[in-house]
Amino acid sequence: MEQTGRMGQEVLKQIQTINNFEVVCGVDKFDSGDNSFPVYSNPNDIVESPDVIIDFSVPDATINIVKYAVEKKIPIVVATTGFNEEQLNTLKEYSKNLPIFRAANMSYETNIMADLVSKLAVQLSDSDIEIVETHHNKKVDSPSGTALFLADSINAALNNEMTYEYNRAAKKEKRTKKEIGIHSIRGGTVVGKHSVFFFGDNESFEISHTVDSRAVFAKGTLKAASFIISQPNGFYSMSDLIK
């Protein structure tokens, strides 16, 4: 696991509160040196034999750690965001030979929100749909993986007829009914907030979800790790865990 980042540290903190997990090693390009377990800069140098891997890093690093996981036959939870289509296809290809759990957001409530907004999109099919996501000023990827997850859930419910609009400043033309606007705000220490707006004639509908602590994601990640360790090869998501 990438363990000097914010989420890596939160996962370590949550592991200390439960009995059925033990950290045997970590992988991190920038090791603080203050650990009770070995930390490697290259996964190929690992000498321990972990039962499951938790990845909170960046897409390029994730691909490398998944290659290691496939070689060693170790189930993995991928909680990293910001993948492009090619990288996601690579993960899905690897899942033919390994149980891989991948979620854009490890919060149970966020996944409930995705289900709700997809149903609303069908009922409010004539609405203009906009998504606004807010995160701390150190978040690298934009829009967030969760915003795209919500957009994809809505789009699937609408027969994948929608397009995503990220920059109306450059476009300078009237919005269409077949687009979902996605907007990113970065500032301060906001852990995460996502809002989906349905704008109709003379009225609007909004659903929002706010995370106040990273512990929410860490706990969800550990649930995913407990789940994936006993699954056959395949590509799993939060919907599989909820079921």
Q: Of 180, 93, 90, 108, give the one whose Cα is nearest residue 143.
A: 180
Active site residue 135: yes
Residues 6+ apart with CB under 8 A from 58: 2, 80, 82, 140
Name the active-site residue from 135, 194, 209, 219: 135
Task: Write the DSSP symbol of residue 231.
Answer: P
Q: Of 89, 102, 55, give the one whose Cα is nearest residue 240.
A: 102
Q: Of 29, 30, 27, 49, give the one whose Cα is nearest residue 38.
A: 27
Residue type, 194: H
The kind and range of the H/E element at 69 are helix 59-72
Name the active-site residue from 73, 92, 139, 183: 139
Residues 6+ apart with CB under 8 A from 240: 101, 227
The kind and range of the H/E element at 169 are helix 168-171
Active site residue 183: no
Q: Which residues are catalytic?
A: 135, 139
